[in-house]
Structure 1
Amino acid sequence: MSDTAPAAVPAPLPEGTTPGPTTSTTTGPTTGPTTRSATSPTTRGTLIERMGIEVREVAPDRAVATMPVAGNTQPHGLLHGGASGVLVETVGSLAAQEHAGAGRRAVGIELSVTHHRSASEGVVTGTATAVHRGGTLATYEVTVEDASGRRVATGRLTCMLLDARA
């Protein structure tokens, strides 16, 4: 295929799936660019589903997902710090898995999250950016921002890249 040929755009994945090792970008009706994969694992019954996380983009260098504040709060009505941690680990792990590729898996081995401000409504967006992509480790910095673009938290995730078990 030449550099000028248009890329094929696959149909959206069935409900309950997330991007996996083979991805391409499509445009959703209200969400803008969304990365989809034909080999995506299901998210039904997982923490991703329970937290209401919606994956928007996945690539080896970057992953983006959103999460509602509602349902993910502590007793004072603020976004729970653990919920921010879940979002950080989710987007970092998805990007690390893309980097690892087929036949390998990425497993989180270190997670840290610093909370900068509270969020009490709306949606927060987690954006993972690769810091290091090696053969056995991948590290991502993740920003969590509110709908106004204010940083709510900053996280760092390191994943070990292993051969997948048969």
Structure 2
Amino acid sequence: MSNKSTPHPMTEELLAAGIPPEFHASLGQHGVGALVTKMGIVFTHMSADSMVATMPVEGNTQVTGLLHGGAHVVLAETLGSFAAFFHAGPNSRVVGIEINATHHRGASSGLVTGTATPVHLGRTLTTHEVVMTNEAGQRLSTCRITNMILAS
């Protein structure tokens, strides 16, 4: 009989996305999701009060070379959904029910940082504001996402 614990099946994916090991079990068997991996999103801070991640511009651009507006929304929905999950608890499920985005300026290179902060943390709904900035700290976009907490 071995004393080694069985590693989480998504350990490699979770670590690559910046998810600390103490959160691996609560994320279930699904990891961070294929789109998060494909977009190069990496979490840099995870708490109920603030969720932060980066995403490269390269590989996520539209035809003119600017970061695609949809990429902003993917980063925002990822951060808002993970933040809602942290609020709801490990045995809960959350689903996005509304998201909007205002784009303030373009980005053609570097890393974009998204920061989600709670606007409302309720029993059945959460709302987060997600601000995307460039490496100079300039605001690129502002999104708002509302998630519904589903009964377990």
TM bucket normalised to smaller: 0.7 to 0.9
| TM-score, normalised via structure 2 length | 0.84
The alignment status of 1:86 with 2:74, answered yes or no, reads yes
List per-residue Cα deviations over 1:122-152 (Å, max 9, x = no partner).
0000000000000000000000000110000
Higher strand share: 1
- Alpha-carbon distance, 1:91 to partner: 0.5
Work out which of the residue numbers 66, 87, 95 in structure 2 matches 1:99.
87
Worse-matched range after superposition: 100-109 or 110-119: 100-109
List per-residue Cα deviations over 1:77-100 (Å, max 9, x = no partner).
000000000000000111000001
Alignment partners' CA distance in 2, 1:156 and 1:43: 21
Tell me what 1:47 maps to: 35
Measured on the aligned residues, the alpha-carbon RMSD in Å equals 1.7
Q: How does 1:1-166 map to 2 (within 5 A)?
A: 14-17=11-14, 35-36=20-21, 37-39=23-25, 40=27, 41-43=30-32, 46-164=34-152
- Alpha-carbon distance, 1:35 to partner: 4.7
Divergent runs of 4+, >6 A: none
Q: Which runs of 5 or more residues in structure 2 are unaligned? A: 1-9
Contact 1:53–1:67 (CA under 8 A) maintained in structure 2: yes
List per-residue Cα deviations over 1:8-53 (Å, max 9, x = no partner).
xxxxx932117xxxxxxxxx9xxxxx75413134136x10001010
Identity fraction in percent: 50
Amino acid in structure 2 at the alignment position of 1:83: A
| TM-score, normalised via structure 1 length | 0.77
Alignment partners' CA distance in 2, 1:82 and 1:102: 28
- Alpha-carbon distance, 1:108 to partner: 0.4
Higher helix share: 2
